[in-house]
């Protein structure tokens, strides 16, 4: 077996026959999936939070059901279920309106499923953050005759970010790790790339350790970014502890 | 929607539920004991034990559980046969099972998350209570046993409840290492009967009701020991 004669550094080298390049591509696609899903989650979360706060009975009931169900069901089940239900449902819909069925790209499916799940958690984070804004600030904006959009952009958004950022940082950390779950439905990101590298060389331990450190690096770098962001949105506020 | 398959598969479903619940019970109970050690190492340990414990928590909280599970199952699992004599020992039938690796990795992961929570709770026990304990001459161990730990656990209880629910929701990962847990049974039903959604719905109902049971029982325990604010 050729692989057993290769040293650790040869195995991890970014150029074939090393597998490092594959791991790095996998890490990049993990970051890409996480970032796109996070953006979708942010959009759903913002709409969901504003919907929950709008007070419209039917809307609030629907959104409560969405967040309660998504947050009570294991992520793996959601991802597998939504992956099949999503592609299957879309194709049935297309057949119903007599359009040809389409093959859904793995990336699109993974991102939309993760984003849909992320949206439920984000709704709760943002809702809590909006509720923590002193109501006098909104009253002041209305008294000045701000349009709802302007009031959102100038008052709600800047006042909400300091409250929401710690929760948003947690969600980013959890989505980078949850993105490993799409390996189970066969989309190639870091976790699956690692399993392939391990299967080909029989060096499972080495490659999973390497992948763990890549994930750790992603987490630690994101930590730095979020600390800096939080300092930025908290500028002018009294220091916490 | 067809649910007649339940009549044929219910023994499997019950076995799967038992596997899921035992994975949860093992990882939460053993993980909690480990977490107590890790948290005290961070709060009152020396420089070395403090940093070791912190590095452990950062590593396990910074990497996906799936990778940790596969690292143990495929990585350590492929190294174990190289240990001389292990293959012939009485431990081998246990060490060969996916269940063993799933239980170990869930336990280690739960311990890391729990340790960070307990550390915060230990630090938020009012200093006066610890000083009172010392003033009446409690030994450090008695102080921990009678005051510090019980108070910290009570403070952390609502967070622990959330953490146990999160742990329940990560147990289906065990199916990727050949454990026949509840999710794996749903997967098998799907392969046998070609029904996609019905098994998932049944399994989901189980997880949701178990979540409700966990939340209720923690509420009950919390009500037994009211906290003064």
Say if residue A55 is exposed, middle or buried (CB neighbours under 10 Å; 0-12, 13-18, 19+). Answer: exposed
pLDDT at A11: 72
The sign of the dihedral angle between the CA atoms of A66, A68, A70, A73 is negative
d(CA B4, CA A133): 52
From B206, which residue of chain A is nearest by alpha-carbon distance? Answer: A73
Residue A195 contacts B where some CB pair is shorter than 8 Å? yes
Q: How confident is the model at residue A1 (pLDDT cuts 50, 70, 90)?
A: very low
Give φ, ψ of A21 to 5 degrees: -60, -40
CA gap A165, B167 in Å, rounded: 24
Alpha-carbon dihedral angle through residues A63, A64, A66, A72, given to the nearest 10 degrees: 160
Question: Hey, are the CB atoms on B71 and A208 less than 8 Å from each other?
Answer: yes
Neighbours of B182 (CB within 10 A): 31
Q: In the prediction, which pLDDT does A84 show?
A: 79
In a domain, A165, yes or no: yes
pLDDT grade, residue A241 (50/70/90)?
low
* C-beta separation of B172 from A73 below 8 A: no
From B56, which residue of chain A is nearest by alpha-carbon distance?
A216
Query: What pLDDT, in 10s, does the model give residues A61-89?
Result: 999 999 988 888 888 888 888 887 777 88
Q: Mean of the pLDDT values across residues A156-169?
A: 90
Q: What is the pLDDT of residue A80?
A: 83
CB contact under 8 A, B77 and A72: no
DSSP A193-221: HHHHHHHHHS-HHHHHHHHHHHHHHHHHH
Tens digit of each residue's pLDDT (9 = 90 or more) over A189-220: 888 888 888 888 888 888 899 999 999 999 99
Residue B145 · residue B153 · CB < 8 Å: no
CATH number at residue A22: 1.10.3720.10
ipTM of this complex prediction, to 2 decimal places: 0.82
Q: Where are the domains of chain B?
A: 5-76+89-224
Cβ distance of B79 and A208 shorter than 8 Å: no
pLDDT above 70 covers a percentage of chain A that reads: 95
Is A204 in contact with B63 (Cβ distance < 8 A)?
no
Which of B1, B56, B63 to substitute to test the interface with A, most A CBs within 10 Å? Answer: B63
Report the pLDDT averaged over residues B189-203: 86
User: With contacts defined as CB-CB under 8 Å, which chain A residues touch B208?
Assistant: 69, 72-73
Look at B106 and B158; give whichever has higher pLDDT: B106
Cβ of residue A71 closer than 8 Å to a chain B Cβ? no
* Residue B89 pLDDT exceeds 80: no
**What is the pLDDT confidence band of residue B54, given thresholds at 50, 70 and 90?**
very high
pLDDT at B229: 54
**Vertex A190: Cα angle to A115 and A172 (nearest 5):** 35
pLDDT at B110 over 60: yes
Q: Which residue has the tokens 């230990």?
A: B122
CATH number 1.10.8.870 given to B5-76+89-224: no
> Does residue A2 register a pLDDT over 60?
no
Q: Measured between CB atoms, which of A77, A209, A215 is closest to B75?
A: A209
List the single range of B6-15, B83-92, B202-211 with lowest mean pLDDT.
B83-92
Are the beta carbons of B170 and A74 closer than 8 angstroms?
Answer: yes
Candidates B71, B77, B197; nearest CB to A212: B71
Apex CA A73: angle with CA A72 and CA A76, to 5°?
145
Q: What is the pLDDT of residue B228?
A: 64
Q: B106, B167 in Cβ contact below 8 A?
A: yes
Q: Which domain holds residue A12?
A: 2-233
Of the listed ranges A82-96, B2-16, B82-96, the least confidently predicted one is B82-96
Q: In sequence order, which residues have a C-beta less than 8 Å from that of residue A47 and are 6 or more positions away? A: none
Is the backbone peptide bond immediately before A17 cis, with ω within 30 degrees of 0? Answer: yes
pTM of the model: 0.86
Residues A126-144: tens digit of each pLDDT: 999 998 888 899 899 999 9
Q: Please give, rounded to a whole number of angstroms, the shortest distance from the CA of A160 to a CA of chain B.
A: 24
pLDDT, chain A, mean: 86
- Give chain B's mean pLDDT: 90
* The dihedral formed by the CA atoms of B157, B162, B165 and B171, expressed in degrees to the nearest 10: -100
Q: Which residues of chain B have a CB within 8 Å of the CB of A184?
A: 176
> Average pLDDT in the A21-43 region?
92
Whole-number Å distance between alpha carbons of B5 and B189 = 8
CB contact under 8 A, A77 and B59: no
pLDDT digits (tens, 9 = 90+) for A4-23: 566 777 777 776 677 788 88
Degrees, nearest 5: CA angle A20-A26-A187: 140
Average pLDDT over residues B40-54: 92
Contacts of B211 in chain A (CB under 8 A): 72
What mean pLDDT is predicted for residues A14-37? 85
Are residues B78 and A81, on separate chains, in Cβ contact within 8 Å? Answer: no
How far apart are the C-alpha atoms of B65 and B172, rounded to whole Å? 11
> Mean pLDDT throughout B6-18?
90
Say yes or no for a CB contact (<8 Å) between A74 and B74: no
Residues of A in contact with B184 (CB under 8 A): none
pLDDT digits (tens, 9 = 90+) for B185-194: 988 998 888 8
Number of domains in chain A: 1
Q: Is residue A67 part of a domain?
A: yes
Q: Is the pLDDT of residue B200 over 80?
A: yes
């Amino acid at each position: 077996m050729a692989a057993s004669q290769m040293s650790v550094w040869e195995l991890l080298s970014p150029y074939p026959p090393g597998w490092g390049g594959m791991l790095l591509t996998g890490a990049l696609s993990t970051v890409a999936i996480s970032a796109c899903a996070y953006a979708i989650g942010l959009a759903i979360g913002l709409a969901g939070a504003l919907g929950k706060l709008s007070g419209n009975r039917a809307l609030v009931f629907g959104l409560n059901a969405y967040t309660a169900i998504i947050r009570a069901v294991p992520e793996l089940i959601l991802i597998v279920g939504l992956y099949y239900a999503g592609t299957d449902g879309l194709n049935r819909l297309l057949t119903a309106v007599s359009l040809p069925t389409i093959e859904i790209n793995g990336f699109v499916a993974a991102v939309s499923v993760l984003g849909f799940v992320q949206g439920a958690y984000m709704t709760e984070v943002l809702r809590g953050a909006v509720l923590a804004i002193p109501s006098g600030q909104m009253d002041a904006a209305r008294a000045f005759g701000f349009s709802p959009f302007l009031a959102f952009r100038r008052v709600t958004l800047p006042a909400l970010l300091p409250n929401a950022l710690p929760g948003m940082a947690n969600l980013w950390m959890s989505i980078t790790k949850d993105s490993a779950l799409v390996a189970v439905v066969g989309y190639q990101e870091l976790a699956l790339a690692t399993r392939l590298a391990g299967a080909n060389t029989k060096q499972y331990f080495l490659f999973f350790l390497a992948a763990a450190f890549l994930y750790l690096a992603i987490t630690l770098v994101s930590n730095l970014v979020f600390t800096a962001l939080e300092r930025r949105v908290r500028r002018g506020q009294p220091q916490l502890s | 929607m067809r649910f007649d398959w339940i009549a044929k598969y219910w023994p499997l479903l019950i076995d799967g539920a038992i596997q899921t619940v035992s994975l949860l019970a093992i990882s939460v109970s053993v993980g909690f004991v480990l977490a107590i050690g890790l948290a005290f190492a961070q709060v009152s340990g020396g420089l070395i034990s403090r940093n070791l414990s912190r590095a452990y928590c950062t590593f396990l909280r910074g990497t996906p559980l799936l990778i940790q599970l596969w690292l143990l199952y495929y990585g350590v699992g492929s190294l174990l046969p190289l240990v001389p004599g292990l293959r012939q020992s009485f431990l081998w039938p246990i060490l060969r099972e996916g269940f063993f690796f799933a239980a170990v990795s869930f336990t280690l992961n739960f311990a890391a998350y729990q340790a960070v929570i307990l550390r915060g709770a230990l630090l938020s026990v009012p200093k006066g209570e610890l000083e009172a304990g010392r003033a009446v001459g409690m030994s450090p161990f008695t102080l921990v046993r009678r005051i510090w730990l019980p108070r910290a656990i009570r403070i952390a209880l609502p967070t622990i409840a959330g953490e146990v629910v999160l742990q329940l929701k990560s147990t289906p990962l065990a199916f990727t290492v050949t454990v026949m847990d509840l999710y794996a049974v749903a997967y098998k039903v799907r392969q046998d009967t070609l029904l996609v959604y019905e098994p998932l719905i049944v399994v989901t109902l189980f997880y949701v009701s178990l979540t409700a049971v966990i939340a209720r029982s923690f509420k009950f325990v919390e009500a037994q020991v009211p906290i003064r604010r």
